[in-house]
């Protein structure tokens, strides 16, 4: 038995994630009728689809049995995989970074910046984050009574926070934002490099071009920071050594690119989706304003609601079994975090936005050894922004139609037009 092609094609279609409902409908059906089976969309190698919350936890917490880097860790068409292999000099993934390596290499790379991203360490930058949040709140209130919250605030605030922590000068930040959007939204003509609809192979060629631009930028950064180390994350990366040696060129570039792009894009997406949800639910805004203790529940539910990373791939390192199905060594497995975060077995009324869920067992950051390095920073950024913004808002409503980006990987609202009044 396999997943019918119509459903399989939806799972692999960036446009379906832009519309969202086809994806929600497809995964609701799969969770109910066929929770772990093989899909083979047109043009893709076959892969298992894990759509249940419990199955994704099982897979992610057995990181030795289910590897990130042996095959593509993104859902790519066959021709895009061939191109990634060519661009990377024969590796499975175009980037060599935390999300595409396993075992000892993963542990060593993660240890380079882990101390800076712990919940305790981040308390040391909370005042700086609040200062930046206040700047953006003032900006929003000044440009009111309407703005595009995604483009005017949400894309820029986490970018500024992360760039400050990394040590990227402010004048370079628009360049990094543009390259990030070209990287993660390579299927969306509103944000990608060519400004047009592209084939999977064209998207991969564009990713390679973005990678070259990022490598050019960070090549200079490495030279500067090795000559003159600084108190920031980029300096940790530039000067890191594993077994006495600097990181290889691909490890180094992959690390910079990961923290400089994934470090803000997913938080931007969640922030924009959260305000979209509030604009449609004045009662939730009133609930938070009346009881600020609900803020953490709002942040956690926003993360579940947005689930900005829709999919990652794993591959089995040995023959194994899940839900009574036999997985062969080498099999490719899609993890749908979007589906897991709407799993009826874990979340009552999963299509309701409910800030009172307790506990909220969302797994948008993943789980296990590959859990998102920046999850505590992301939560802190969002909580601080809402603490500064929401008490200032008297009213909030949509002033146009928000739109999701078209991607099977990182998805968020690319526009959230809102109208608001200030207290």
Partner 1 sequence: MLQPIGEPAFRQYLCRYCGYVYDEAVGDPDSGIAAGTRYADLPEEWICPQCGATKEGLDLIS
Find the length of the chain: 423
When binding is defined by CB under 8 A, the residue of 21, 32, 120, 170 that contacts partner 1 is 120
Cβ pair 70, 331 in contact under 8 A: no
Q: Is 95 in the site for partner 1 (CB under 8 A)?
A: no
Number of H helices, E strands in the chain: 19, 14
When binding is defined by CB under 8 A, the residue of 2, 33, 104, 114 that contacts partner 1 is 114
Cβ pair 381, 158 in contact under 8 A: yes
Alpha-carbon span 191 to 204, nearest angstrom: 15
Q: Is 318 in the site for partner 1 (CB under 8 A)?
A: no
Alpha-carbon span 394 to 263, nearest angstrom: 31
When binding is defined by CB under 8 A, the residue of 234, 367, 405, 407 that contacts partner 1 is 367
The smaller minimum CB distance to partner 1, of residues 108 and 398, is found at 108
When binding is defined by CB under 8 A, the residue of 2, 118, 199, 356 that contacts partner 1 is 118
Nearest CA-CA partner of 380 in 244, 263, 227: 263
When binding is defined by CB under 8 A, the residue of 227, 290, 359, 401 that contacts partner 1 is 359
Q: Is 356 in the site for partner 1 (CB under 8 A)?
A: no
Q: Is 347 in the site for partner 1 (CB under 8 A)?
A: no
Q: Is 103 in the site for partner 1 (CB under 8 A)?
A: no
Which helix (H) or strand (E) segment holds residue 74: the answer is: none
Q: Give every CB contact of residue 377 below 8 A, 6+ residues apart in sequence.
A: 117, 122, 161, 162, 165, 263, 267
Binding part of the chain for partner 1, among 32-40, 93-101, 115-123, 413-421 by CB under 8 A, reads 115-123
Q: Is 130 in the site for partner 1 (CB under 8 A)?
A: no
The smaller minimum CB distance to partner 1, of residues 265 and 300, is found at 300
- CA 393 centroid distance within chain: 28
Binding part of the chain for partner 1, among 7-15, 269-277, 365-373, 412-420 by CB under 8 A, reads 365-373
Q: Is 66 in the site for partner 1 (CB under 8 A)?
A: no
Q: Is 286 in the site for partner 1 (CB under 8 A)?
A: no
Copy the structure tokens of residue 260.
């400089």
Binding part of the chain for partner 1, among 189-197, 279-287, 305-313, 370-378 by CB under 8 A, reads 370-378
Q: Is 104 in the site for partner 1 (CB under 8 A)?
A: no
Q: How many residues bind partner 1, per CB under 8 A?
A: 18
H-helix segments, 154-311: 157-166, 173-184, 200-227, 233-239, 249-257, 263-279, 282-290, 295-306
Name the DSSP class of 336.
E
Name the residues that contact partner 1, by CB under 8 A.
57, 60-61, 114, 117-121, 359, 361, 365, 367-369, 371, 375-376
């Amino acid at each position: 038995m396999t997943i019918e092609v119509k459903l399989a094609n939806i799972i692999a279609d960036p446009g379906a994630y832009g519309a969202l409902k086809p994806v929600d409908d497809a995964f609701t059906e799969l969770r109910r009728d066929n929770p772990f089976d093989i899909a083979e969309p047109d043009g893709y190698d076959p892969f298992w689809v894990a759509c249940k919350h419990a199955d994704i936890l099982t897979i992610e917490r057995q990181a030795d049995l289910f590897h990130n880097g042996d095959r593509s860790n993104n859902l790519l068409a066959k021709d895009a995989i061939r191109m990634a292999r060519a661009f990377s000099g024969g590796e499975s993934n175009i980037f060599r970074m935390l999300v595409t390596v396993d075992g000892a290499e993963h542990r060593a790379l993660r240890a380079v910046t882990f101390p800076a991203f712990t919940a305790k360490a981040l308390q040391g930058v909370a005042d700086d984050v609040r200062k930046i949040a206040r700047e953006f709140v003032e900006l929003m209130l000044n440009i009111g009574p309407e703005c595009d919250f995604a483009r005017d605030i949400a894309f820029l605030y986490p970018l500024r926070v992360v760039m400050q922590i990394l040590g990227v000068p402010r004048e370079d930040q628009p360049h990094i934002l543009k390259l990030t959007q070209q990287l993660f939204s390579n299927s969306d003509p509103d944000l990608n490099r060519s400004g047009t609809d592209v084939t999977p192979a064209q998207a991969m060629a564009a990713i390679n071009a973005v990678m070259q631009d990022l490598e050019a930028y960070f090549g200079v950064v490495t030279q500067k920071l090795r000559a003159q180390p600084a108190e920031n994350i980029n300096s940790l990366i530039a000067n890191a050594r594993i077994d006495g040696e600097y990181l290889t060129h691909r490890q180094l570039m992959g690390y910079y690119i990961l923290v400089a792009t994934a470090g803000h894009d997913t938080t931007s997406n969640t922030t924009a989706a959260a305000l979209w949800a509030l604009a449609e639910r004045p009662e939730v805004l009133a609930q938070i304003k009346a009881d600020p203790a609900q803020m953490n529940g709002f942040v956690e539910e926003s993360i579940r609601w947005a689930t900005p990373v829709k999919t990652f791939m794993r591959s089995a390192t040995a023959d194994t079994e899940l839900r009574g199905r036999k997985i062969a060594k080498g099999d490719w497995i899609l993890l749908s975090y979007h589906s897991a975060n709407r799993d009826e077995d874990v979340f009552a009324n999963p299509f309701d936005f409910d800030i009172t869920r307790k506990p909220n067992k969302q797994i948008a950051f993943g789980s296990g050894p590959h859990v998102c390095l920046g999850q505590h920073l992301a939560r802190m950024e969002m909580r601080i922004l809402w603490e500064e913004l929401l008490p200032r808002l008297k009213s909030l409503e949509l002033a146009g139609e928000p739109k999701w980006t078209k991607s099977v990987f990182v998805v968020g609202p690319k526009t959230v037009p809102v109208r608001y009044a200030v207290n």
